[in-house]
Structure 1
Amino acid sequence: MCTSLYKVDKNEAWDGGGSKSLAGSLVSSLHRLKDVDNKDGGFFVFGDISVKVQGSFRLHFSLFDLQKDACEVQYLGSITSDPFKAVLLPKDFKGMDESTYLSRAFSDQGVRLRLRKEPRAMM
């Protein structure tokens, strides 16, 4: 699965800066992991993705099947996230939020994620 930045009001890619608008791993393979209820599931994990421009956006995720034997790629479908506001000024950034139970569960299963284990109040 790969992701790209989309306009908040239209179903089209945001073109104000090209590939310099997103940072981190923009592709993810399928991970077979257990969820918070200890049930097996398939997850695409984008653990370090960030938006480098200010504004409101959506993320567009496209799923492809890579067929190694035939050296082909087949498009399977896509979905677009809900809108979100991106980029805080450095003076407004209060630090990472405490990691979710799901993030910690994925990390315990071997997925590489940056975690914050203590609540901010303790620091």
Structure 2
Amino acid sequence: MSISNILSSDNTSNQPLPPPMASPQVASSIHRITVRQQPYAARSCGFGERDRRVIDPPPIVQLTIHDDSLSKSEVSQLLRHQFSVVHCSIWDDKGEKDMSSMPEDFRQQRRLMGTLVASPFVGLDENGEEGCFFCFPDLSCRTPGSFRLKFALVVLDPINMRTGTKSDILATVFSEPFQVYNAKDFPGMKASTQLTKRLKEQGCLISIKKGNEKRDTPGSSRGGTGKDDDDYDEDDSDEGSAKWPRKKARRSA
């Protein structure tokens, strides 16, 4: 799914379409985005729709405004603009090739699954500083490998949007490389960060996990804990998160 397709209006009108426009380019802007929470690892989910595993930890992008002529209230207003969106795509670990498309045999499917567009959430971070955050708690990757995520910021203009128009990309940023593992090699989920917990407390739709990282224990192979890879503490009430069946509590011997 390309950013241009997301930003274009639905072609439901019977009116003739205008000539196709060039692909959006990064425009000069006072907007900056940074990856506040980097992806670390994921378990590949293959080509089914039921056995999804999300990228861990959930990537979080922060928007900042850089213009000395603006007052603090004006900056705050820009950060709260409800039509700001960030789109996510998957690239190779050098950030040179878009890896969204699958090999020819699977060309009807995309490598990156889940909710690829995030809307802004304004709240306090773990240090008590106000910020504008775009959270991606529902991203999954079909295939193992080393990748980066690319994030692109667009500020939509709902008044002037019409069929065939596109909005400029105001800022882009790549994540650090992260690894997608086969099920047998996946090192486990990390416990949620303080940033994730703080945003969750303020109403952000993001899940909190206890973590189940594999550690070296006597009698375990590959450094496993003896626990199932799918053990987790997931809040299923959150929208936009991959729906996993809850594990039944184990009976004590």
By the TM > 0.5 criterion, same fold?
Answer: yes
Task: Kindly report the root-mean-square deviation, in angstroms, between the aligned alpha carbons of the 2 structures.
Answer: 2.3
Change (3 A) 1:119 1:54: closer
Larger strand share, 1 or 2: 1
Which residue, out of 115, 126, 131, partners 1:41?
A: 131
The alpha carbon displacement at 1:90 in A equals 2.1
Q: Where do 1:1-123 residues align within 5 Å?
A: 1-17=86-102, 20-71=110-161, 73-86=167-180, 88-93=181-186, 95-117=188-210
After superposition, the Cα gap between the structure-2 partners of 1:38 and 1:95, relative to the gap in structure 1 and judged at 3 Å, is: same
In 1, Cα distance between the equivalents of 2:140 and 2:208?
15
Aligned length: 121
Higher Cα Rg: structure 1 or 2?
A: 2
Give unpaired runs (5+ residues) of structure 2.
1-85, 214-224, 226-230, 232-253
Assess if the C-alpha contact under 8 Å between 2:137 and 2:207 holds in 1: yes
Deviates more, 1:70-79 or 1:91-100: 91-100
Shift of 1:2: 0.3
CA–CA distance in 1 between the matches of 2:97 and 2:125? 32
CA offsets 1:75-111 (integer angstroms, 9 cap, x no match): 212111121211x222334542211111111111111
Instruction: Give TM-score, length-normalised by structure 1.
Output: 0.84
- What's 2:218 paired with? none
Tell me the equivalent position of 2:43: none
> Relative to 1, partners in 2 of residues 1:93 and 1:85: Cα closer, same or farther, differing over 3 Å?
closer
Which residues of structure 1 form unaligned runs of 5+? Answer: none
Task: Give 1:51 shift.
Answer: 1.6
Q: Percent identity?
A: 30
TM-score (normalised: structure 2): 0.43
